[in-house]
A and B are shown apart, each in its own frame.
Chain A
Amino acid sequence: AQKVTQAQTEISVVEKEDVTLDCVYETRDTTYYLFWYKQPPSGELVFLIRRNSFDEQNEISGRYSWNFQKSTSSFNFTITASQVVDSAVYFCALSALIGGGADGLTFGKGTHLIIQP
């Protein structure tokens, strides 16, 4: 069985601070994908990143960066110089690669990020 844990239910920081959202996962599959999604107050799910289990390279995209560590089964997400528009619920999710991901996504419970002006 797969499991994704986002231990931080809610984080509140002041604008321009850096913030890291934690994600720990469990799976018996050796090949899998990890994802981060953003859900702003408008409700849609916005795709942020996909990483497969063979690629442990960290990734940076503008103010966003992701740290994937298989040794600790973690896939953490950092926002640098946070902005009010970053306020949203962020979900970490896991999908088995076998079957082309047809098993769907297992989501964490989400972290509600509040950026105060």
Chain B
Amino acid sequence: DTAVSQTPKYLVTQMGNDKSIKCEQNLGHDTMYWYKQDSKKFLKIMFSYNNKELIINETVPNRFSPKSPDKAHLNLHINSLELGDSAVYFCASSEGTLMFYGYTFGSGTRLTVV
């Protein structure tokens, strides 16, 4: 029943590894997002997808690649992980362009790179 679900909730991995975080929403929303929250709690948008098309790609290293197989899923793949990638990553979704009721966030994935 969770509206926006992210897996895994916690991820500990070594530098240099490749990892993925999955996000699924069952709200029928058209737009999905990835946000990064750093160690100082600052939240910043990374990507926005609308109907599987990339809308926003903020200044994010090329090692981060979002993939949207369908409207309900937006996964985040990270190559060659670095210590600075340690953060909490939030997935979110929102209604499409005709109606807007705000954003629904997942519970976050805490990524720790050691």
Contacts and interface: CB of A to CB of B under 8 A. Distances in A.
Contacts of B90: 45
Given A45-B90, A109-B42, A103 B56 contact: yes
Interface residues of B, number: 32
Contacts of B99: 100
**Could you say which interface size class chain A belongs to?**
20 to 34
Contacts, number: 75
B94 interface: yes
Nearest to B104: A47
* 8 closest cross-chain pairs (CB), A and B: A100-B97, A104-B45, A107-B43, A45-B105, A50-B102, A100-B100, A101-B100, A102-B31
B100 A107 contact: no
A44 B5 CA distance: 12
A100 B96 contact: yes
A112 B88 CA distance: 17
Nearest to B102: A50
B48 interface: yes
Given A43-B107, A43-B110, A102-B50, A110 B95 contact: no
Given A104-B48, A109-B41, A110-B42, A43 B88 contact: yes
Interface of A: 33, 35, 39, 43-45, 47, 50, 89, 91, 93, 95, 97, 99-107, 109-110, 112
Given A102-B48, A109-B41, A35 B107 contact: no
A102 B55 contact: yes
Interface in B15-56: 30-31, 33, 35, 40-45, 48, 50, 55-56
